[in-house]
Amino acid sequence: MANEYVTMDLEKPEITLVDLRKNFQGRVGDSLAYCKLWIKSNGLPKDLSKVNIGFAGVDPDGDKYHAVGWAAADQPGDNIQVGRITYYFPAGMFKVQGDWDKDSTYFYIDDDKTGQHISTINVWLHVLPNMVEMGINAEPYKNDLDRALGEFKSYLSTKKDEMNDAIKALDASAIMEKVKSLNDVVTNYTTLIKTSAVPTKIDMQNYVSSLFSAEETNKDLDLLMAEKTYIITNPNAGNNPSHTMGTLKVFGDGDSNIMQLFVDTSANLWVRSGGANGWSDWREQTAWN
């Protein structure tokens, strides 16, 4: 039965639990282990070419996971237009052996344009032990939000070095002010990373407001291209990837070379790039609770 497609109907017929063990079992420490899925609707193949496929569940330790953007149609037999895809489980998901909660583990589809969010029936996911590699990799795990903040800190440090070189050449007081500002931002981000805090909605709004003088807005996110921080007050604002309130940080030149980083009230993170010439799709990073 291995490598055959697991068929699931979005209309959730009488059967409400699919046993994945006949087709797939993870192992502690696996990275990009995959499961073949065939998504249907009312018994008919479902076109998945314009939607995101996600996974949500609770592992044997009670930790909640949510991962989207890890589905592909890149293996023999896959055809995204008829709903046959390969779902890759991201690294760091299988940290403990045993059965995931059968009442809280499932796949789902998201359509950002229509706001449609539909889950499948529940799935039975089992993770095997790994007695060989257990304890070999003792480096503390960093989630995607930590990595994004670390990369941002590295970017700021690089820009600081570039400005130091410019100061030596020009000796301009305006550039000195830029360096001081960058140092302040690096210090604040270093403090945030060391505390490993998971902010609430109010904490995030207060922190970002004090650090970047954030602007509250309910506009379409496509229109927010100025390099600043915004508090998104309208969960139904155009091109809002989470359909919740949250914080949007914009980097770039304010025109066609822009990056947007959106954090919702549950500390889930989305990233995209673009600008006046159009935007890429939102890419949701894996959020670990």
* pLDDT tens digits, one per residue of 189-236: 666 656 655 455 665 666 555 555 678 999 999 999 998 889 999 999
Q: For position 267, what pLDDT does the model report?
A: 85
- List the chain domain ranges: 6-128, 142-197, 200-289
Read off φ and ψ for residue 147, nearest 5 degrees: -65, -40
For the segment 135-179, what is each residue's pLDDT rounded down to a tens digit? 444 344 445 556 667 777 777 777 777 776 765 665 556 656 766
For the segment 52-105, what is each residue's pLDDT rounded down to a tens digit? 999 999 999 999 998 877 889 999 999 999 999 999 998 888 999 999 999 999
Question: How crowded is the C-beta side of 146, counted as CA atoms within 13 Å?
Answer: 12
Both structure tokens of 70: 């890890």
For the segment 87-102, what is each residue's pLDDT rounded down to a tens digit? 999 888 899 999 999 9
Q: Report the pLDDT averaged over residues 37-65.
A: 92
DSSP result, the chain: -TTSPEEEETT--S--EEEGGGT--EETT-SSEEEEEEEEETTEE---TTSEEEEEEE-TTS-EEEEES-EE--STT-BGGGTEEEEEEPTTS--S-EEPPTTS-EEEEEETTTTEEEE--EEE-EEE--TTTTTT--SPP--HHHHHHHHHHHHHHHHHHHHHHHHHHH--HHHHHHHHHHHHHHHHHHHHHHHT----HHHHHHHHHHHH--EEE-S-GGG--SSSEEEE--TT-TT-SSSS-EEEEEEE-SSSSEEEEEEETT--EEEEEEETTEEPPPEEPPEE-
- pLDDT tier at 4 (50, 70, 90 boundaries)? confident
Q: For position 93, what pLDDT does the model report?
A: 87
Any idea which fold 6-128 has?
Immunoglobulin-like (2.60.40)
User: Which has the closest alpha carbon to 227: 185, 285, 164, 199?
Assistant: 185
- Spatial neighbors of 216 by CB under 8 A, at least 6 apart, are 230, 231, 233
Q: For position 2, what pLDDT does the model report?
A: 52
Q: Model's pTM, two decimal places?
A: 0.46
Q: Report the pLDDT averaged over residues 180-194.
A: 68
Share of the chain above pLDDT 90, in %: 39
Confidence check: pLDDT of 26 > 60: yes
- pLDDT tier at 184 (50, 70, 90 boundaries)? confident
